[in-house]
């Protein structure tokens, strides 16, 4: 087991999950800022891994957090990280494919999503990363599109979502996907570009 500090939290992980990436602390900071203006209700983290981004986002609030990931090793560490950082009572982990993890009528005030975004043919460029944690399918966006669909269905009125992507080209394609969801669907309101990835803010 390894440990690092992320957003002031002590986070455990091992080689069977994606190592927490320091730049993604920006997603937690942005999420906690949005949370101050979001309606009441729980936070959802899709593709949570060991849970550090969601935990850091809610640490200074009294919000509950639902984490979703299909990797049992990620669940083990996420539960451990929630306990060690004194947030276990506010955290529920759902070990499932995200497509099957939510009831139709569930709504969340803030949704954080960190899907894999590497093309299948390019995953060998990242030998230290477990393939299921980074493999985004043929064009890298298969899981990101599912995240947008789930955000569109489960975001509460007045809520916000922060989706992690790899490149600004991917942002353009995801914006097109959101547009195809029709009138009243979520759209990209702001994009922040970092050295190792991109975060977009989606809202209605
Ligand atoms: C890019 S990693 C992000 C993990 C963590 N949030 C982070 O930033 O380190 C993607 C995560 O999505 C999970 N995952 C991939 N496909 C999934 C699916 N269909 N349903 C649920 N989780 C999935 C993987 O197990 C992995 O933990």
Structural domains of the chain sorted by starting position, each given as residue range(s) with its CATH number in brackets: 2-203 (3.40.50.150)
Let me know if 108 is exposed, middle or buried by CB neighbors in 10 A (0-12, 13-18, 19+): buried
- Token code pair at residue 168: 């600004």
Can you say how many angstroms the Cα of residue 165 is from the centroid of all Cα atoms in its chain? 10
**Residue 54 Cβ < 6 Å to ligand 1:** no
When the pLDDT of each residue in the chain is averaged and rounded to a whole number, the result is 97
| Candidate of 6, 133, 137, 196 to mutate for ligand 1, largest count of ligand atoms within 8 Å of Cβ | 133
**Residue 141 Cβ < 6 Å to ligand 1:** no
- Band of residue 138 on the pLDDT scale cut at 50, 70, 90: very high
Mean pLDDT of the region 29-46: 97
pLDDT of the residue at 191: 98
Q: For 40, how many CA atoms within 13 A lie in the half-sphere containing its CB? A: 1
- Band of residue 146 on the pLDDT scale cut at 50, 70, 90: very high
45 Cα–ligand 1 center, Å: 10
Ligand 1 atom closest to 48 (CA)? 6
pLDDT of the residue at 114: 98
Q: For 115, how many CA atoms within 13 A lie in the half-sphere containing its CB? A: 27
- Band of residue 137 on the pLDDT scale cut at 50, 70, 90: very high
pLDDT of the residue at 45: 98
Q: Express as a percent the part of the chain with pLDDT over 70.
A: 100
Check: pTM over 0.75? Answer yes or no. yes
Tell me which residue has its CA closest to atom 14 in ligand 1: 47
Mean pLDDT of the region 58-74: 98
Of 122, 53, 42, nearest in space to 89 by CA: 42
Mean pLDDT of the region 20-41: 97
pLDDT of the residue at 75: 98
- Band of residue 14 on the pLDDT scale cut at 50, 70, 90: very high
Mean pLDDT of the region 164-169: 97
**Residue 114 Cβ < 6 Å to ligand 1:** yes
- Token code pair at residue 51: 């849970």
pLDDT of the residue at 9: 98
129 Cα–ligand 1 center, Å: 12
- Band of residue 101 on the pLDDT scale cut at 50, 70, 90: very high
**Residue 67 Cβ < 6 Å to ligand 1:** no
- The Cα 44–Cα 112 span in angstroms is 6
């Amino acid at each position: 087991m390894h440990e690092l500090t992320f957003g002031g939290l002590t986070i455990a992980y091992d080689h069977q999950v994606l190592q927490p990436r320091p730049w993604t602390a920006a997603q937690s900071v942005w999420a906690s800022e949005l949370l101050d203006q979001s309606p009441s209700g729980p936070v959802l983290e899709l593709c949570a891994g060991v849970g550090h981004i969601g935990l850091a986002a809610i640490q200074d609030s009294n919000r509950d957090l639902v984490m979703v990931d299909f990797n049992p090793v990620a669940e083990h560490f996420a539960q451990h990280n929630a306990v060690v950082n004194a947030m276990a009572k506010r955290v529920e982990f759902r070990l499932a494919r995200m497509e099957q993890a939510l009831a139709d009528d569930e709504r969340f005030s803030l949704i954080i999503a960190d899907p894999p975004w590497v093309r299948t043919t390019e995953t060998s460029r990242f030998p230290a990363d477990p393939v299921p944690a980074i493999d985004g399918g043929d064009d890298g966006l298969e899981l990101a599109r599912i995240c947008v669909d789930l955000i569109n269905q489960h975001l509460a009125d007045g809520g916000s979502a922060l989706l992690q992507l790899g490149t600004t080209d991917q942002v353009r394609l995801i914006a097109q996907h959101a547009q195809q969801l029709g009138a009243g669907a979520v759209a990209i309101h702001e994009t922040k570009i970092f050295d190792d990835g991109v975060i977009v803010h989606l809202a209605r």
